[in-house]
Structure 1
Amino acid sequence: MLRVLRSVAFVTYKEWAAYRSHMAVSLFVGPVLFLAQLLIWQAVFSARDTVGGLTLEQMIAYYGIIAVIQYAIFDFADWNLQMLIRTGKFLTFLLRPVSHRWFALSQKAGHRLLGFWLELVPVALILYFGFHVNLVPKHPVWAVISVALSFLMMFLVNYCIGLTAFWLTNAHGIRGMFHLLRDISAGVFLPLTFLPETMQKVLFVLPFQFIVYVPTRVFIGSYELGGITLSIPQIVGMQAAAVGIMWLVSELLWRLGIRRFTGVGA
């Protein structure tokens, strides 16, 4: 399995390296979005010192960390899987001696390895030196573990969405709706502590907070949601358990969905 991971990741790295100019566009997208958020929050904080218990410096750090983490965990497994199922090309993967889920994860590893130096590092330098965003985690080891788990959680959640194509054939519509709900529930647009407490308690038991919100709070050095405060080791442990549960969910959906595959378009 490790040989498959290494081989597929290497091939994917080489493939995307040939089109690296496409990825380079994100060097402008990330900083521009961050700048827009910075201007909005500067206007909000002009009349007050704190919002939701966060200072302007903490708010800037929150969105800066999110920007960097999103480059590390970016995923397209849902789009790729639904495209293969819709066109019937998924049939070829049923004949291969490795599961498509492992193959897709290996593809993501190669894609993000290229993105690390082509996207993440340059944007992190821009945010650190251009906007003076503190990107140094308070607990470096726990932060690395949390981002790695976030990497897996993003993949598994998206893969489960891609699996809906076994029932819907074309999952484009549900993907668009899901991406919006996922980002809201993960704290991409607003820190989850800004939401009503009842909603925070619901989000606490859902997997989405483990994609972005949890690794961001691990970077900052504290965690709180829905009136629940946990230490960094505790929340990272919960994140690991959540990844394990999502792996089982993806396995269940796979077993149910593969029975419905008819090779449409093949």
Structure 2
Amino acid sequence: MKKAKPVFRAVIQATYKENFAFRSNMAVSLIVQPIYFLVQYSIWRAVFQVHDTVSGFTFKTMLFYFAVSSLLGFLNWDDADGTLQRLVQNGKFITFQLRPIHHLYYAFFQKVGHRILAFWVELVPILGFYLLFGIKPIPARPFWAIISVALSFILAFLINYTIGTMAFWLVKTNGIRRAVLVFKDVCSGIFLPLTLFPEAIQKVLFFLPFQFISYVPARVFMGSYELAGITLSIPQIVGLQAIMVLITYLLNRLVWYFGIRRFTGVGA
């Protein structure tokens, strides 16, 4: 592990420098996100003119939720699935089999380097935009919020990376991969708080890992958690989030085991 630390640091630095040259691509979100937020603002303002609360949310807490979930979206974004797919399909993945570092960890620290750059290119300006609307995404319980965001960061990567392993079985995975990613985003609560779904769907979502990417950390920021009629304390839901990260990691290793056997079994 001590020998691996310099490698991880080098991967982070190299990824940061490489993407710094293309930071203008990230800056596009500075146009898209404010427009998306203004649309959400207009829709929910109209809704709350009729209702004081919706599924326990007031207009103010709804805006707070969307602000936090969008910031989490910027922080958690990665292309681990697409990158792994391209490496497998063009044959370059075989070079990682000869390297001293496992590709899973290499890809993770690539994400770290990329998101460090995104922090000041995307997150800080968007945060300033939210402040103009009086939205201050300050967590009710900072300690647990930091842990929850870190777990969300890891879980989002593990899920995307696991999706990318479909390339070991399928020649073309773009369509399936995009469908799965959209399903993941909907079920994570990025577009809508999960409590707005019918109760039957909420019960299903409670047992899926996706809520822990966006909905759970956003609720931790708000200081309370409730889904499908189940109310948990902040330490309890963060603990459950940690367990889900472990389960997803083990699932990823299992899928990887069978995927790499297939990859090497066809002559790679």
TM-score, normalised via structure 1 length = 0.96
Counterpart amino acid of residue 39 in structure 1: S
Count of equivalent residues: 264
The residue number in structure 2 matching 1:54 is 57
Task: Report if aligned partners of 1:90, 1:263 keep a CA contact under 8 Å in 2.
Answer: no
Q: 1:83 aligns with which of 68, 73, 86?
A: 86
Structure-to-structure mapping, 1:35-114, within 5 angstroms: 35-114=38-117
Amino acid at match of 1:192: L
User: What does 1:144-223 align with in structure 2 at a 5 Å threshold?
Assistant: 144-223=146-225
> Partner of 2:262: helix, strand, or coil?
coil
Residues 145-188 of structure 1 show CA distances to partners (whole Å, capped at 9, x for unaligned) of: 11110000000000000001100122111111011111111111
For residues 210 and 36 of structure 2, what CA distance do their matches in structure 1 show?
21
Matched-pair contact (CA < 8 Å) for 2:73–2:190: no
Amino acid in structure 1 at the alignment position of 2:211: Q
User: Matches of 2:69 and 2:242 in 1, distance apart?
Assistant: 19
Distance 1:48 1:228 in 2: 24
Cα distance in 2 for partners of 1:28, 1:197 equals 35
Check whether the contact 2:159–2:248 (CA below 8 A) recurs between aligned residues: yes
* Structure 1 residues 134 and 13, CA gap change in structure 2 (3 angstroms): same
| Cα deviation, residue 4, structure 1 | 2.0
Task: Find the aligned partners of 1:192 and 1:65 in 2 and give their Cα distance.
Answer: 14
CA contact (8 A) 1:214 1:235 kept: yes
Q: Measure the CA separation in 1 of the matches of 2:200 and 2:98.
A: 47
In the TM superposition, residue 27 of structure 1 has moved relative to its aligned partner by: 1.3
Distance in 1 separating the partners of 2:231 and 2:6: 41
Cα distance, 1:190 vs structure 2: 1.2
- State the alpha-carbon separation in 2 of the partners of residues 60 and 44 from structure 1: 12
Aligned to 2:130: 127
Please state how far the C-alpha of 1:262 moved relative to its aligned partner: 5.7
Output the CA distance in 2 between the equivalents of 1:226 and 1:215: 17
Partners of 2:101 and 2:93 lie apart in 1 by: 13
CA deviation after TM superposition for structure 1 residue 78, in Å? 0.4
User: How far 1:263 sits from its partner (Å)?
Assistant: 9.8
How many Å separate the matches in 2 of 1:263 and 1:189? 41
Aligned to 2:231, what secondary structure does the other structure show?
strand
- Provide the aligned C-alpha RMSD in A: 1.4
TM-score normalised over the length of structure 2:
0.95
Q: Which residue of 1 aligns with 2:249?
A: 247
Structure 2: how far apart are the matches of 1:6 and 1:80?
A: 20
Cα distance in 2, alignment partners of residues 209 and 8 from structure 1 = 30
Shift of 1:88: 0.9
Superimposed CA distance per residue, residues 194-217 of structure 1 (whole angstroms, 9 cap, x where no aligned partner): 111121111111100000000000
